[in-house]
Amino acid sequence: MKTILLLADDPADRERLAALLELAGYGVHTAPTGPAGLALALAHLPDLVLCAVGLPGLPGLDGYAVLAHFTQHPRLAGVPFLLLASGPDHAGQRRAMALGADDYLAPPLADDELLGAIAGRLDRFRHLQAGHDLAAPGGLGEFVEDARATARLDHLAGHRKAHAVRRRQDVYLEGDEATRAYFVQAGRLKTLKTDTEGKELITGLYGPGEFLGYLPLLEHTPHRDSAVAIDDSELIYISAEDFTQLLHHAEVGPQFMRLLAGRVSEREQQLLDMAYHSVRRRVADALLRLHAQAGGTAATAIELAREDMAALVGTAPESLIRAIREFKQAGLLELTARTIRLLEPDKLRHTPW
């Protein structure tokens, strides 16, 4: 039986939620305050925490503070943590995710939605148990080949967990303080800049095995762009301190430097292409990059929203669609409502558009 720690200050809410969870087959421990909840968690480690944002108790120890204690404690950091808000609050959601919450649930929220969110997090956590070891297959260990480097990654991992990020959820926003780097364990993310008219320019696409958000840590500056999940994704958070240790490692450091140099080169090439190349050439190059990132085989299907692809190219969606239709008419690609498959990538690459 999975055990849930329920932290809620209102007695009626606490009793109702506890009854709902018990009917769903969970063991439930309850606490009315943050300090009581932390003590109970240390005495009986739960499988998941459901915590109300507005908790009384010690000064400042509300739901966000309890979350911060959990993510910083070596025994509690790996426990899935869901915050239960009293109302919609975008700033509160951003704060919760920045602190490491696995979900932020705001009303209106039906009982079946709450139970679905809990079951989904428990199931995902079960599949991510190996993610606590950054050197595990599919984790950070694949970033380097040296055994001593993977051992160092394993040491830094501790009880670190993979964080679930929902589709279209902000990871960080332009101007936010940079406090960590991010490693993509699953899913896809985009970084983007928005002009004064609200138009987006995608500055990077990131998939499994890639890092993002590390440049401001090196420059000691706020984030210069925003990061948003394209798909439901899983991220490993790497604190600024741990990231600095990785950079000073004899094997890992040079890998990061090569990675950084490659990203800077890509960004410069993107700006040059936007300045000097035609829309069709830019669309063709973007399709080729996406094709390579997705696997680069004859069966590879590119799945990216048209508005995102237009933002990557730096053009209007109408211009993008017009270019794609021309490529389709030329027999260079196959088009469906959701995907694009390149039939003649070499012709797309070498034709002087």
**Residue 129 confidence (pLDDT):** 45
Residue 220 and residue 134 in one domain: yes
Whether the predicted pLDDT of 158 surpasses 60: no
Beta-sheet strand order (sheet of 189-194): 170-172, 226-229, 189-194, 200-206
**Residue 262 confidence (pLDDT):** 66
CB 279 within 8 A of CB 319: yes
Assign 109 to helix, strand or coil.
coil
Whether the predicted pLDDT of 148 surpasses 80: no
**Residue 344 confidence (pLDDT):** 92
Q: In a 10 Å sphere around its CB, with 0-12 CB exposed, 13-18 middle and 19+ buried, how is residue 298 labelled?
A: exposed
- The values of phi and psi at residue 191, to 5°, are -110, 145
Half-sphere exposure of 94 (CA within 13 A, CB side): 13
**Residue 189 confidence (pLDDT):** 94
Residue 242 and residue 298 in one domain: no
**Residue 221 confidence (pLDDT):** 93
Instruction: Name the band, by pLDDT with cuts 50, 70 and 90, for residue 154.
Output: very low
**Which DSSP helix (H) or strand (E) runs through 95?**
helix 90-99
Whether the predicted pLDDT of 22 surpasses 80: yes
State how far the Cα of 151 lies from the Cα of 161, in Å rounded to an integer: 17
Whether the predicted pLDDT of 265 surpasses 90: no
**Residue 320 confidence (pLDDT):** 92
CB 61 within 8 A of CB 34: yes
- Which of 26 and 124 is assigned the larger pLDDT? 26
**Residue 256 confidence (pLDDT):** 66
Instruction: Name the band, by pLDDT with cuts 50, 70 and 90, for residue 263.
Output: low
**Residue 214 confidence (pLDDT):** 86
pLDDT, average across residues 254-265: 66
Residue 138 and residue 255 in one domain: yes
- Which of 91 and 320 is assigned the larger pLDDT? 320
* Sign of the alpha-carbon dihedral angle for 276, 277, 278, 283: negative
pLDDT digits (tens, 9 = 90+) for 112-144: 989 998 988 887 655 444 444 444 444 444 444
Residue 112 and residue 167 in one domain: no
Whether the predicted pLDDT of 70 surpasses 80: yes
Residue 31 and residue 115 in one domain: yes
Residue 134 and residue 263 in one domain: yes
Q: Find the CATH number of the domain harbouring 164.
A: 2.60.120.10
- Between β-strands 48-52 and 3-7, what pairing exists: parallel, antiparallel or unpaired? parallel
Domain encompassing residue 295: 277-350
| DSSP 8-state class, residue 226 | E
Tally of residues, the chain: 353
Percentage of residues in the chain having pLDDT higher than 70: 81
Residue 151 and residue 120 in one domain: no
Residue 218 and residue 181 in one domain: yes
- Please tell me the total count of domains within the chain: 3
Which among 100, 127, 154 is the end of a domain?
127
Residue 121 and residue 15 in one domain: yes
**Residue 145 confidence (pLDDT):** 46
Residue 92 and residue 142 in one domain: no
State how far the Cα of 83 lies from the Cα of 104, in Å rounded to an integer: 5
- Which of 252 and 155 is assigned the larger pLDDT? 252
Q: Which of 80, 84, 146, 82 has the alpha carbon at shortest distance from 109?
A: 84
pLDDT, average across residues 330-352: 91
Q: Find the CATH number of the domain harbouring 285.
A: 1.10.10.10
| DSSP 8-state class, residue 132 | G
- Which of 32 and 197 is assigned the larger pLDDT? 32
- In the block, tokens 């960080």 appear at 172
Residue 296, CA distances (Å) to 60, 104, 291, 344, 346 in order:
52, 37, 5, 12, 12
Q: Find the CATH number of the domain harbouring 19.
A: 3.40.50.2300
pLDDT digits (tens, 9 = 90+) for 183-222: 888 889 999 998 777 788 898 888 887 888 988 988 889 9
Which among 229, 246, 270 is the end of a domain?
270
Radius of gyration, CA atoms only, the chain: 23
Residue 109 and residue 166 in one domain: no
Which among 270, 292, 319 is the end of a domain?
270
pLDDT digits (tens, 9 = 90+) for 269-318: 766 776 778 999 999 998 998 888 888 888 889 999 888 999 888 888 99
pLDDT digits (tens, 9 = 90+) for 94-112: 788 778 788 888 888 889 9
| Average predicted confidence (pLDDT) for the chain | 81
**Residue 343 confidence (pLDDT):** 93
Residue 244 and residue 292 in one domain: no
